[in-house]
Structure 1
Amino acid sequence: MTETNPEPRGGRRPRGTVTVAAIARLAGVSPPTVSKVLNGRSGIAVDTRERVEALLREHGYRRTDGTSALPIVEVAFSGLESHLAVEIMRGVEEVVRDRGLTVGFTDLQGHAPRAGRRTADLLLARRPAGVIAVHSAYRGQYYQQLTASGVPLVVVDPTGEPVHDTPSVGTTNWSGGIAAARHLLDLGHRRIAVITGPAQFMCSRARLEAARAALETAGVALDPGLVRSGRFGFDDGAALGAELLARRDRPTAILCGNDLQALGVCDAARRAGLRVPGDLSVVGFDDLEVARWCGPPLTTVRQPFAEMGRAAAGMVLRLAAGQPVEPSRVELATSLVLRESTAPPA
């Protein structure tokens, strides 16, 4: 096959039609080197890899050579969300098994890039039929790298606004935050604290601002001194909860960014000699399986993780079949689950 120049006479080549050989000439490398980048192979210098990737992005390269993919849909997590893995993967598996595919699990945390390779190279080297990236496993450059290599990508609840036209599945974080705050207000709480997740996460911002809006609508201002931000984990919930409960004007209720934080707050209350819900009401977010087992069982906002997995699987399979995905953003409903960790203030 004869390769043509990347910029034909009369102007630039339309995006997506540039060839591997043309990219190689622009980068000053061989076509096999470009193929190595597209396949996530090792043995390429960092600056060379970055130069090739920049040209792939600039020219909108999309692989169309029919490279065979393995019958696997990879679900990529990043440690932080491993407690969500079972439900999400169960939903994915329910959809892909009918197509003769299997589900692979990738925990990207702890896979430090080496020899000039990036995290997405781990996925490319496995040649999956598609990739579903969950929460913080997603980064903007994954979209560019995977798409250029012809691997369909769908994001589940991205922590920031999706770039380009990356299809994504999320939940109604705003509605969930509103429901949780209104529940505490209806119980009679007015001194309500909020512990949210990392400020750079879209879901954290949505839940915090939803709680603020619900309180302001009820004529209750959210005290800035009762707002804390931390990682979505038990330890941060315990530490931040202890800070709030040590205040002279301590809150009567705490809204948490997720269930792990909420369990940490419950532990902090116990250590402070306070009863949940007698002295402190606690609300979580997620509805992990453990939420119904703790003492007392946790009031929380349910995210439909299995349903999210099913929706993402359907989208990635349509992309793999060359079909358009509309709408490209799907948001599933959250719901408030009432248990025994909330009660009227003493």
Structure 2
Amino acid sequence: MTSNEAASPGGDRSGADGAAQAGRPAATTRVTSRDVARAAGVSQAAVSLVLGEKWRGRVSPGKAEAVRAAARELGYRPNLAARSLRMGRTRTVLLVVPALTTEFFARVYTGAARVAAEHGFGVVLYPSPEGIGPARDPFDSAAATLDGVIASSMAAEALTPLRDADLPLVMLDSDPDDDRADATVNLDIAAGIRQLTGHLSGLGHRRITHLAADVASWTFEVRARAVADSLHGLPGAQLRRRPAACSVEAGLHAAHAALTGPGPRPTALLCDDDIIAAGACKAVRRLGLRIPEDVSVTGFDDLALAVAVEPELTTVRLPAEEFGEAGIRALLRVLDGRPANAPTLPVELLVRGSTAPPPDAPGNAARPGGQ
């Protein structure tokens, strides 16, 4: 213990307290370029350009000075390994996905890898061992191995171990208001749900059960809100919700419970993905009911499974390869110090044989008493 420490019982905390009061991280917390970017009101890429003395002609003098001032105020010490990566030395990016149980994420990878290859980059695909999070650093040091990270359908906090490497991060299918990412690329999920509910309500369905994916992620929260909002105020609408894991078996059990529970039977099952919908179709048949005459079933994603079942699923097509392409383009722009220009990609309703008017609609050949 030094004489200065002895003079103040419990140690001198003025430095840490002063940093907290000034809005700076405490001395025990490593300041990252993301912290500097927030303090200066600029992108992380702009910080890299300014501190790497490559800003002229790409960042305004005023913003450059704001970055330098923020770095001085925060006591920023550059991560030399990460800085070398900003120059494109490894030309490798990491694509983190929740799982490889469907071809959707494989198609995202295909699109990302194609565009990356056109720019001389490679893409390493990493399914998080914990699902949607947390995603552990798969390397001894991500900062020494990668130029940046793309994460699909995961919460930003799930990526904390990777974000500690101070690498550029682009999120796919994630909350656009989360400023912990350098850019966010999304699919118009809410529009897809509105198209599905509009299709079902247009056919005359009013008793609809939402078989909702039992996964804590932004994309499924959006779907739940969009279903409720779309049916709100519709005369006679009766919306119920049953959670289900993203598996055929879980979809089967959730649909069976929905179809055999108390009260009037739903005439339509709106499922959060095609896999849950496949289980729902099995449940309908096992109860001796017909699709779509007795019960309509919809999916989401347009996986290969959607046309393998009979009748084929009405679903929403998500452009997975284009999604991956947009993600890598956004990351490459971040690495180059340019605005990410992250788009929201449109989705498409595909009407197939699994939907029809409800049993009590004129012209529907449902079994007598099928309600």
Give the SS at the match of 1:179.
helix
Task: State the one-letter code of the partner of 1:243.
Answer: A
Give the SS at the match of 2:358.
coil
Within 5 Å, which residues of 2 pair with 1:107-256?
107-109=127-129, 119-120=136-137, 122=139, 124=142, 127-136=145-154, 138-140=155-157, 142=159, 145-158=161-174, 162-198=178-214, 200-223=216-239, 226-247=240-261, 249-256=264-271
**Which segment drifts farther, 121-130 or 229-238?**
121-130
CA distance in 1, matches of 2:75, 2:303: 44
1:73–1:129 Cα contact (<8 Å) kept = yes
Matched, 1:258 2:273: yes
Instruction: Please name the residue that 1:83 is paired with.
Output: 103
2:135–2:158 Cα contact (<8 Å) kept = no
CA distance in 2, matches of 1:267, 1:84: 22
1:92–1:313 Cα contact (<8 Å) kept = yes
TM-score, length-scaled by structure 2? 0.69
* Cα offset, 1:214, TM superposition: 2.1
Matched, 1:106 2:121: no
Count how many residue pairs are aligned between Structure 1 and Structure 2.
Answer: 293
Give the SS at the match of 2:289.
coil
CA distance in 2, matches of 1:167, 1:236: 34
Q: 1:242 to 1:22 in 2, by over 3 A?
A: closer
Instruction: Please name the residue that 2:337 is paired with.
Output: 322
* Cα offset, 1:71, TM superposition: 2.5
Q: 1:81 to 1:139 in 2, by over 3 A?
A: farther
Instruction: Please name the residue that 2:36 is paired with.
Output: none
Q: 1:219 to 1:22 in 2, by over 3 A?
A: closer
Instruction: Please name the residue that 2:348 is paired with.
Output: 335
Q: Residues 189-242 of structure 1: CA distance to partner in whole angstroms, max 9, x if unpaired?
A: 11111111236322222222222222224323334xx31122222222111001
Select the structure of larger CA radius of gyration.
2
Match of 1:344 among 357, 361, 365: 357
Q: Percent identity?
A: 28
CA distance in 1, matches of 2:116, 2:215: 34
Task: State the one-letter code of the partner of 1:335.
Answer: E
Q: 1:192 to 1:141 in 2, by over 3 A?
A: closer
Q: 1:149 to 1:200 in 2, by over 3 A?
A: closer
CA distance in 2, matches of 1:148, 1:62: 13
Task: State the one-letter code of the partner of 1:67.
Answer: S
CA distance in 1, matches of 2:309, 2:280: 12
Q: Residues 273-314 of structure 1: CA distance to partner in whole angstroms, max 9, x if unpaired?
A: 111112110011111122122211110011111111111100
Instruction: Please name the residue that 2:59 is paired with.
Output: none
* Cα offset, 1:78, TM superposition: 2.2
Q: CA RMSD in A?
A: 3.4
Gap regions ≥5 residues in structure 1: 1-6, 24-57
CA distance in 1, matches of 2:237, 2:91: 53
Give the SS at the match of 2:252.
helix
Q: 1:149 to 1:62 in 2, by over 3 A?
A: farther
**Which segment drifts farther, 247-256 or 58-67?**
58-67
Instruction: Please name the residue that 1:267 is paired with.
Output: 282
**Which segment drifts farther, 262-271 or 232-241?**
232-241
CA distance in 2, matches of 1:118, 1:280: 40
1:146–1:152 Cα contact (<8 Å) kept = no
Give the SS at the match of 2:147.
strand
CA distance in 2, matches of 1:256, 1:266: 11
Q: 1:118 to 1:239 in 2, by over 3 A?
A: closer
1:230–1:236 Cα contact (<8 Å) kept = yes
2:135–2:162 Cα contact (<8 Å) kept = no
2:291–2:297 Cα contact (<8 Å) kept = yes
Match of 1:279 among 294, 298, 303: 294
Instruction: Please name the residue that 1:67 is paired with.
Output: 84
Give the SS at the match of 1:195.
strand
1:62–1:148 Cα contact (<8 Å) kept = no
**Which segment drifts farther, 315-324 or 146-155?**
146-155
Q: 1:14 to 1:246 in 2, by over 3 A?
A: closer
Task: State the one-letter code of the partner of 1:204.
Answer: F
